[in-house]
Amino acid sequence: QVQLVESGGGLVQPGGSLRLSCAASGSIFSINTMGWYRQAPGKERDLVTTISSLGTTHYADSVKGRFTISRDNAKHTVYLQMNSLKPEDTAVYYCKAAVKTTYWDILKDYWGQGTQVTVSS
């Protein structure tokens, strides 16, 4: 069993910053790609950014230059630093991790519970 626990969401004014954290725990042999997704009310869940086990990153065009993803492999934790926040960034943010519980297992995706980010004046 693997759990992903997110934290760091909240209410912030436009132009402000937030830092999200997502820690994985449980039976973990290794974690491959981790990422952040977001879902605004009435919208589908969209990819925000991903980071590989070796640190290769990808960003949605809408957040390039403003958001930074990072990870601490020893802590099984992924972070999302969000700067210059805009109202359109308002959404529930979910982390995802591709996890192997043993060497012989296939990778399986696990999702966090989501954390609300609201950008409003």
Could you report the per-residue pLDDT of 97-118, keeping only the tens digit for each?
999 999 999 999 999 999 999 9
Question: Can you tell me whether residue 35 is helix, strand or coil?
Answer: strand
> Are 85 and 9 in contact, with CB atoms under 8 Å apart?
no
pLDDT at 44 over 90: yes
Q: Which amino acid, 24? A: A
3 state SS of 74 = helix
Share of the chain above pLDDT 70, in %: 100
CA distance 76 to 55: 13
Question: What is residue 104's predicted lDDT score, i.e. its pLDDT?
Answer: 93
Dihedral in degrees, nearest 10, Cα atoms 81, 106, 4, 31: -40
